[in-house]
Chain A
């Protein structure tokens, strides 16, 4: 079989060169991508916080002010979690410290846990604030007229359905990832 190894190792190396400058450029570009992703996330968070914060400050209704303040707290918590999880995902040396199966299992587990816990760390923290806002808006609507109150209730129901639908989609994606992890486990059992 040494001849096959010879054929393999004799391959031309002309297209396998990557210059140091190219790698440096790629590394700069990678750092730039991460920087701008963080800036984007921060801007979205800043805009949402400003929006809800403004209502928390300016709204004439105390219940509405409380709902907006709670939503701001939920947004800040979700942003902190997002930042923490993104930092954990970007540990470059993991690629070397883990074997191929271990690395991919860890990647899948991390994604699965993020999706499974989406109510705890992403969607959930905003629920109390949004629920209080919906109640306050409903109360204000019904004070004006029945029809205005009903419109607010319908909007709140549609919002809640969408919100819970998003949660269910995440749970479904987590189950799919679990199936992939189970397949990897079977593969690992077969190979040990």
Chain B
């Protein structure tokens, strides 16, 4: 009897945690899914995979890190596993920030893009990136500071700051040259 009650209490706690996380981070998780998967159908599946992983992870939430760090780690890990499976199917090559910095802009930035175009190009750029760089750029775009990003990714805050500097340079080159030229 006691065991049944304990399972029921754990299950209620799991649902409460999930509800809270979905309410606070649902929109961010939707953006994260867009950043990992370009195909709309597969993206819906990915989003459900992320939510399921989150639900399951709350079976044993231990509050050793913040709820936000927990949610983003689960989401990135679920999404990276998804991308790994897709890559094996589609044979996609991923790039690092350093590679992208070295590649000259192919001219897409010659005219000032509207927001929709800018977003599409941003998504295309993120989807090219290797997992760690993708985590950093998404945390940056979600407005997190270097310390929070470091906690999620497990790399040092100094290294995150260095990567953010590169991201800002790449974004400036790709999205603002057009405005200067245009």
- A residues apposed to B, CB below 8 Å: 1, 4-5, 7-11, 13, 15-18, 20, 22-23, 26-27, 30, 92-93, 95-104, 187, 191-192
B147 to chain A, nearest CB (A): 14
Inter-subunit contact B19/A20 (CB<8 Å): yes
Q: Which A residues touch B40, using CB under 8 A?
A: 15
Binds A, one of B2-10, B27-35, B102-110: B27-35
Main secondary structure of the interface of A (DSSP, over half): helix
A100 close to B73 (CB less than 8 A):
yes
Q: Contact between A95 and B118 (Cβ–Cβ < 8 Å)? A: no
B contact residues, total (Cβ < 8 Å): 61
A100 touching B52 by the CB < 8 A rule? Answer: no
B62 adjacent to chain A (CB < 8 Å): yes
Contact B119 A98 (CB under 8 A): no
Asked if B124 CB lies within 8 Å of chain A CBs, one says no
B168 at the interface (CB under 8 A from A): yes
Expressed in whole angstroms, the Cα–Cα distance for A100 and B76 within the complex equals 7
CB < 8 Å neighbour of A92 from B29, B47, B59: B59
> What chain A residues lie within 8 Å of B132 (beta carbons)?
100-101, 187, 191
Are B56 and A96 in touch, CB under 8 angstroms?
no
Q: Is the CB of A11 within 8 A of B119?
A: yes
Taking CB atoms, residues of chain A closer than 8 Å to B78 are 95
